[in-house]
Amino acid sequence: MTSTDTAERSGASRKIRWLAIGILLFIILYSGAWFLAAHLLQGKLQAFLGDQRAAPVSVDCGGMNVAGFPFRIGLFCDTVRLDDTARGASVSLGALRSAAQVYQPGHAVVELDGPAQIRVSPGLSVSADWSLLHASLRARLSGLDRLSLTYDQMAGTAVLPAFDDEAAPGGTDRLAFAARHGEVHLRQNGGDLDMAASVEGFDAKPADGISFLPPLDGGIDLTLTDRAALMEAGGLRPGALRGSKGEIRNLKLDLGEGMVATASGPFSIDDQGLISGELSVTMKNIEGWRRNLVKTFSDEDETAMVNNIANMLTALASGRNEATVKLNLRDGIAFLAFFPIGELPRL
């Protein structure tokens, strides 16, 4: 072996040693930075949540922990609780797990366990559980840019204060509900807000009775003009939709056996929360809808209204079992031709 070979091997060995030392130093510095960031983040979250306890809206994260080393960082809670003293509302949930890539902290995934308990004065309460509730979100400094939420096998009960033993369908104020699968997607689109939501196998019934309708598959795809700010911090508040306008690209309700209803068209919401607009509505298997809705409404006036609407649709369709009509919404009242057929809630 020549002196030249020895020198080359010695130089290569020194390079490998320095590379190994550099990698080791990077690992030590990265690990220290990760744990320092996690410690600071947990401290800031605890301080923030502690300050919020005296505020009208507070959030509690039981058993808080920041974990995910080495490539992720996320917040973990054994339980989650939200309280809104101004509105007399509270929400309690199971464990929360979240994670974001270290190199992309604005994109996080979240899993939330049930059961959930929601209470709102004066008497509204909802309890629900699910097999999976998963969310994906992209955030900016000002708030959310995108949000997607999916759930599987959700079921629960609701007690509605407006219902009583005489007014509630089935003679009870406790309603049971279930859904096989559901999704909600929100995104900022320039200054507009795009929203899409769907549900599969939705069923509702009195807690001790039979289902109101066959299991429903439904979905909606719409845009709210100039309402992207609803995704930002503090944007979603009571009355936030008032004074807005938008367009329903597609609203679909499917009860099976050919009973499908779709709607699309522009709408607006005034300063009082009343909806106006003009929707193109297509209803297939009118007789099937009539048959099922008559079973749902036991009140004589409501049954007569269902029959009248079905007769009008059949007449407008020249006796066919499928019709496409214009549904006019004027200040919260729905009109078919010149006849009012229902009142919409204020938003």
Q: Which two tokens stand for residue 217?
A: 């598959």
Three-state DSSP at 249 gives strand
| CA–CA dist 182, 150 (Å, integer) | 6
The pLDDT of 126-131, averaged and rounded, is 95
The pLDDT of 52-67, averaged and rounded, is 80
| CA–CA dist 152, 180 (Å, integer) | 6
User: What's the pLDDT at 164?
Assistant: 45
Three-state DSSP at 160 gives coil
- Confidence check: pLDDT of 225 > 60: yes
The answer to whether the Cα torsion of 260, 346, 156, 96 is positive or negative is positive
- Taking only Cα atoms into account, the Rg of the chain, rounded to an integer number of angstroms, comes to 28
End-to-end CA distance of the chain: 88
**Strand pairing partners for 183?**
150, 198
Q: What is the largest CA-CA distance in the chain?
A: 108
260-313 per-position pLDDT tens digit: 999 999 999 999 999 999 999 999 999 999 998 888 877 777 888 888 888 888
User: What's the pLDDT at 172?
Assistant: 44
Are 218 and 252 in contact by the 8 Å Cβ rule? The answer is yes
| CA–CA dist 48, 28 (Å, integer) | 30
User: What's the pLDDT at 95?
Assistant: 95
Give the pLDDT band of residue 258 (cuts 50, 70, 90). very high
| CA–CA dist 204, 279 (Å, integer) | 26
The pLDDT of 13-22, averaged and rounded, is 78
pTM for the model: 0.84
